[in-house]
Amino acid sequence: MLLSLPTTVSALRECLAQGAVPVGGATLVWATWQREGFPEQAVSLREVPEATVLGREELGAAVLLHQVDDRVPEVLRRAAGSVGTGAVRRAATVGGNLVGSTLRCLLPAALVLDARARVLGGEGTYETDLAELVAKRHLLLSLRWHAPLTSGYRKLPGDAGGPPPFVVATAVHADAEGGHLLRVAVRDGYEVIAESASHDAGAGAPEVLDALRRTPLGALPPTAWEAVRAQVTETLTDPALG
């Protein structure tokens, strides 16, 4: 297998046009390749600057999960830190987790950040939402978002060989009217649900939770809803909100 390491988006496009298969850490495809055969050509994004950004409001698809640190919001950092084992996090990439994995551990965190995806298509790069990214499995270059006021993440224990552990991600953003908007996203099994509720001055966690109860989140099993309740309460009482 010939692995190309382009250093520009245009060179990456040339590799793809020649039939190269994009790979990150190959943690999700290695077993398949060993069983069914390796592709003749593969291409990595790890030398493409647009895919290796890491900052307060952006994260590249080629960034390894163990590299996701406190430069990004807490919800995204904790989500990345909860994926697999240390060995997996040292090999797996952001793009592989979001686009290549059925678990999509980073998706709830990206949803509450209201992130947009920068992708590479046939006509060049463009920005799209996460729904299209996941549905069409685009080649992701990076995620971009507006930094939240505060955020959080909770993952319940899971059983080995069982369904994916339940996770809940939260983030509070300033809205156009000077108030606050709480975004909540959960992964329940393989399904991801995202909802939001206003958190205006004077409103406490019970009022916000009542509003969330009237969304599809209210149909969650008791244990899952308790995790949502605890995480929402913790997020809304963060001193960062004043």
How far is Cα 165 from Cα 177, in angstroms, rounded to an integer? 37
State the Cα angle at 107 between 162 and 145, rounded to 5°.
165
Bin 26: left if φ > 0, else alpha if -120 < ψ < 50, else beta: left
How far is Cα 165 from Cα 189, in angstroms, rounded to an integer? 7
pLDDT tens digit sequence for 177-235: 778 999 999 999 999 999 999 887 666 889 999 999 999 999 999 999 999 999 999 99
- The pTM of the full predicted model, rounded to 2 decimals, is 0.92
For residue 9, the model assigns a pLDDT of 94
Q: Report the range out of 39-43, 112-116, 158-162 with the highest average pLDDT.
A: 112-116
Higher pLDDT, 99 or 100: 99
Residue whose C-alpha is closest to residue 112's, from 83, 142, 73, 86: 73
